A = this chain, B = another copy of it.
Amino acid sequence: MKVLIIGGAGMIGAKLAERLAKDGEIGGKAISSLILHDVVETAIPTGARMPVGVLTGDLPAPGEAARLVAGTPDIIFHLAAIVSGEAEQDFDKGYRINMDGTRTLLEAVRAAGHKPRLVFASSIAVFGAPFPEAIGDEFFNTPLTSYGTQKTICELLVSDYTRKGFLDGISLRLPTICVRPGKPNKAASGFFSNIMREPLAGQEAVLPVAESVMHWHASPRAAVEFMRHAATLDTAKVGPRRALTMPGLAVTVGEQIAALRAVAGDRVAARIRREPDPFIEQIVAGWPRKFAAQRALGLGFKPDRSFEEIIRFHIEDELGGRVA
């Protein structure tokens, strides 16, 4: 299997690349080559069991997508996007990268003619408030951001190109990834990870919302598994509705903190400082809290088992097993 990851330098893209490089196979079939593409240079995973190529470029630029699919990859993971906040601030850039980039890729795949599996990283931002208690698989798309609009449009394109037989696509609406590694960022959703990651690393973290706030999470490991599973899933079972809400954990901030206390102790949990921010509280009030992701569960996608497990994964994967 020839595998291409677009957005290979991103957080999930890099973790997926590492996993595939280490495994040497996907769905029981050997990976003969792995190509990593991003707008910035992508690190080659160490100890890869196959040749790994790195391509750097701007996906929507003329010829770039054609260059990517010239090697007729059997599986394409498309994770390249600019994030929600940037897409909202820079309208043109958002549409150019998130919508035109995807369309250009789909067109290049169509022109190549080899009908690969394409796994598209979508988002729960395709949904907009008001929401039911738990958002079902047939809830309608009313995005309230340009990012969410762009992801919804890409889902529609993936389904239509699939229906026409140009490729075999599937769109995964990822939960918010938690615990997100790296530095604290100023995204409104950043605190969900900050209040776990920073205390575990010996740092103080600010909690800007009430502990009653509920949100929908998946670990980076779960996200990588979603991608791997989607790459070799029997899509005949998926039917024409090719966008799937991925299973996650609906937990409150209070439950997150209780899990942190259970895993790492009071000393770590005490590093969270409550500092309510009405601006962030208002933004978060418009976000989905919980989903009933029955279709994905029925197709074998698996959520994390508990938030404690999510924290333990983070300690193992990012902290070498040690809490500060």
Which A positions have Cβ atoms within 8 angstroms of B?
91, 128, 138-144, 146, 149, 152-153, 156-157, 159-160, 163-164, 240-241
On whether A143 and B164 interact (CB within 8 A), knowing A128-B240, A240-B128, the answer reads no
What 9 additional pairs, Cβ within 8 angstroms, besides A91-B164, A144-B163, A149-B160?
A128-B240, A140-B141, A141-B156, A142-B240, A143-B160, A146-B160, A149-B157, A149-B159, A153-B153
User: Does B91 lie within 8 Å of A144, measured CB to CB?
Assistant: no
Chain B residues with CB under 8 Å of A240's CB are 128, 142, 144
A297 to chain B, nearest CB (A): 18
**Which one, B142, B144, B149, B241, contacts A142 given CB within 8 A?**
B241
On whether A156 and B164 interact (CB within 8 A), knowing A138-B140, A139-B140, A140-B141, the answer reads no
The 27 listed contacts between A and B (C-beta, < 8 Å) are: A91-B164, A128-B240, A138-B139, A138-B140, A139-B140, A140-B140, A140-B141, A141-B141, A141-B156, A142-B159, A142-B240, A142-B241, A143-B156, A143-B159, A143-B160, A144-B163, A144-B240, A146-B160, A146-B164, A149-B156, A149-B157, A149-B159, A149-B160, A152-B156, A153-B153, A153-B156, A153-B157
**Whole-angstrom CA separation of A297 from B91 in the bound complex:** 34
Chain B residues with CB under 8 Å of A156's CB are 141, 143, 149, 152-153
Chain B residues with CB under 8 Å of A164's CB are 91, 146
A221 to chain B, nearest CB (A): 30
**Whole-angstrom CA separation of A195 from B146 in the bound complex:** 45
Chain B residues with CB under 8 Å of A143's CB are 156, 159-160
**Whole-angstrom CA separation of A146 from B106 in the bound complex:** 14
A104 to chain B, nearest CB (A): 12
Chain B residues with CB under 8 Å of A141's CB are 140-141, 156
**Whole-angstrom CA separation of A306 from B163 in the bound complex:** 37
The 8 closest A-B pairs by CB, nearest first: A149-B160, A140-B140, A149-B156, A153-B153, A138-B140, A142-B241, A146-B160, A152-B156
**Whole-angstrom CA separation of A164 from B156 in the bound complex:** 22
A60 to chain B, nearest CB (A): 14
